[in-house]
Structure 1
Amino acid sequence: MTRKAVRIAMNGVTGRMGYRQHLVRSVLSLREQGGLDLGDGTRLWPEPVLVGRREAALRDIAERHGIEHWTTDLDSVLEDPSVEIYFDAQVTAAREEAVAKAIAAGKHIYCEKPTATTLSGALELARLATAAGVKHGVVQDKLFLPGLRKLRRLVDGGFFGRILSIRGEFGYWVFEGDWQPAQRPSWNYRAEDGGGIVLDMFPHWEYVLHELFGPIRTVQAVTATHVPQRWDEQSKPYDATADDAAYGIFQLEGGAVAQINSSWAVRVHRDELVEFQVDGTHGSAVAGLRNCRAQHRSATPRPVWNPDLPATETFRAQWQEVPDNTEFDNGFKAQWELFLRHVVLDEPWQWDLLAGARGLQLAELGLRSAAEGRRFDVPELSL
């Protein structure tokens, strides 16, 4: 077995998502399993080069995981011809400039979303990468979650018949930070720093709806800042200037209607932190991060509305669990493997920077809809 190394500049690994999901559970996990088997007697061996602004944090991560190369000098990494791939998981406001630099340096690009803070910025990155001839991809991790992969199996198998509607619930209570530390960084709640739940979550909903059910054709949204004051990492109070909740209605090509609530100011009364219920003429399903339950029309009970009597049915027990039927790896790691194969073997890839720009388009139109109280068409994007 031959080992082929690929050096990856990983910018933003001191953050929660960059560290846990991308470095530890994806790139380092690939190394722990002996590299990525390319199927021709070669194993691809990822060599991370850690990049960031906090020297002490980078040094600590590198020492903890035995990583040889790290730096606070992004330019020096981009000038290094041995580095083939640039990955970005920084705060959103810093991403556009860094990715543009990496494209100019001829690096293949893989980055978190949103890819920029504006649609124009996201489209420009897609144009630059296409013109430079580099391979490029955007993290769209929820497509690789076990629950949504099971849901996709039902869709592809024609289980639903004609799909009528999709209802999504996402969110949890993020502590204000005064008497319990917040679970999310404070910049998420400052619009001037690129925060806001629309900018964070509408790009997710775009690719989930687009990939599973069809392109979004219209959007209508209401946003709110339910918690106007929070406390930052230094326990100092600050004004929350970004939306912390969004209530969106999306009409899809083909006529199905999706309604998704996103909130960092809701307490959880569901089985998972995100759930999607899909209803069709032939059946329905409810999918979360890991689980998926279904009810076919042939097994649908006959509920009768009678508010004068207590319910005698246990409605959740009337649904059937969709089996795994396979082993599901970490969703982030699964997409990393596909991107690396795309870079090295030129295998097909569809989640590029233009797909990332569609997420920014939906976020911008959602915010505009909320500001103006109108429904907007979502036109096709092109370079």
Structure 2
Amino acid sequence: MAIKETGIIMNGVTGRMGTNQHLVRSIVAIREQGGVQLASGDVIMPNPILVGRNENKLSALAEQYNIPKWSTNLDECLANPDYQIYFDSQTTDRRAKDVRKAIRAGKHIYCEKPTANSLEEAMQLAKLAKEAGVKNGVVQDKLFLPGLLKLKRLIDSGFFGEILSVRMEFGYWVFEGDWQEAQRPSWNYREEDGGGIIVDMFAHWRYVLDNLFGEVRAVSCLGRTHIPERIDENGNRYKCTADDAAYATFELENGIVVQANSSWAVRVDRDDLLTIQVDGTEGSAVAGLRDCKTQHRVNTPKPVWNPDIPNTIRFQEQWETVPDNQTFENGFKIQWELFLKHIVNDEPFPWDLLEGAKGTQLSELALASWKERRWVDVPELSYKELTVQ
């Protein structure tokens, strides 16, 4: 057995997502389990260096999680041949510049989404990586959620028959910051800082829909800024310039209709913060982050519309729970392991920078649909293009 040590430059790891999901629950967890096992018996052992702008945060993280190295000098790290992979979980406005530098330094790229502030810039990154011959990937974590894996199991089994429609409900109430502290950072609500629920969430909806149901071919979207003012982390009142809710309809390549509501100004009366209902000719399912329930056509109740008498059907009791049937690990960790196998062992990894650009494309077209109050077609993307034709 050989240990294949793989150096990773982790930039932006002091942020909430970078610390919790990518460092602690992914890279640290992989190191603690003894690395990533390959079929040959060899083991990939990630060797991270933490990079950022705050020395105190970096040194504290490194000490807490037994990471030997950290740095505030990205250029120096990129020049070090011991590190083959560059990972970026910075805010979106900083990401593209540093990913471009890493590509030019010959590093393989793995990064959060959105990959850039615009489709043109996202496509340029994909093209640069392809021309440089570096492997690349984009985090698409929701594909590995237990609820969505169970949903994929149902789709692959033919449970639904012909899928007719999908309904997605996402969101929760984010406190304004006055009498209760907000659960999200204030930049999320400023368009000038890259905020907005369309930019944030439609990148997720794109890869979820493309990978589970069919590629998105058209979008109609209405956005809203329901809460006009909020209080920031320093107790200062600020004007919200970005959308905090979006009401969208997508048409997929196979004719499936998807309705998706996304909101940070909604109170939850459903099983989870995200629920996806799929209706087909043979059955239906509702998936959350971890659970999934089904109703086959033979178990479907037969309601009759009559508002003059009390309803006697307990609709929510008519569903069956899909069993786990496997152990589900953290989705970020699963995708990190797949990417490391891609780098070291050349195993397949389909979620590259081009796939990431598709998320930015959908966000841009949804914003255009809202502004122009019309349906917008979603063209196919390829490496031959720098912008939508």
Match of 1:55 in 2: 55
Alignment of 1:176-325 (within 5 A): 176-325=176-325
Match of 1:350 in 2: 350
Alignment of 1:1-383 (within 5 A): 1-383=1-383
User: Could you say what secondary structure the match of 1:350 adopts?
Assistant: coil
TM-score for the superposition, normalised by structure 2: 0.97
Q: Indicate the percent of aligned positions where both proteins have the same amino acid.
A: 63
* Distance (Å, rounded) in 2 between the aligned partners of 1:266 and 1:60: 37
Match of 2:387 in 1: none
TM superposition shift of 1:86: 0.6
User: Could you say what secondary structure the match of 1:101 adopts?
Assistant: helix
TM superposition shift of 1:161: 0.8
* Distance (Å, rounded) in 1 between the aligned partners of 2:220 and 2:235: 36
Q: Which amino acid aligns with 2:271?
A: D
TM superposition shift of 1:372: 0.7
TM superposition shift of 1:193: 0.7
Q: Which amino acid aligns with 2:183?
A: Q
Q: Which amino acid aligns with 1:240?
A: C
* Distance (Å, rounded) in 2 between the aligned partners of 1:73 and 1:135: 23
Where structure 1 has 5 or more consecutive residues not aligned to the other structure, the ranges are none
Could you give the per-residue CA deviations for residues 166-186 of structure 1, whole angstroms, max 9, x where no partner exists? 000000111111221111111
* Distance (Å, rounded) in 2 between the aligned partners of 1:249 and 1:48: 41
* Distance (Å, rounded) in 2 between the aligned partners of 1:138 and 1:125: 12
Q: Which amino acid aligns with 1:363?
A: S
User: Could you say what secondary structure the match of 1:276 adopts?
Assistant: strand
TM superposition shift of 1:3: 1.9
Of 365-374 and 308-317, the range deviating more from structure 2? 308-317
Could you give the per-residue CA deviations for residues 235-256 of structure 1, whole angstroms, max 9, x where no partner exists? 1111111111111100011111
* Distance (Å, rounded) in 2 between the aligned partners of 1:102 and 1:322: 43
Could you give the per-residue CA deviations for residues 325-360 of structure 1, whole angstroms, max 9, x where no partner exists? 111111110111100000000011110000000001
TM superposition shift of 1:39: 2.0
Could you give the per-residue CA deviations for residues 283-330 of structure 1, whole angstroms, max 9, x where no partner exists? 100001000000111111111112122222211110111111111111
* Distance (Å, rounded) in 2 between the aligned partners of 1:180 and 1:57: 26
Could you give the per-residue CA deviations for residues 180-199 of structure 1, whole angstroms, max 9, x where no partner exists? 11111111111111111000
Where structure 2 has 5 or more consecutive residues not aligned to the other structure, the ranges are 384-389
TM-score for the superposition, normalised by structure 1: 0.99
What is the aligned residue count?
383
User: Could you say what secondary structure the match of 2:123 adopts?
Assistant: helix
TM superposition shift of 1:159: 0.7
* Distance (Å, rounded) in 2 between the aligned partners of 1:244 and 1:314: 34
* Distance (Å, rounded) in 2 between the aligned partners of 1:23 and 1:62: 10
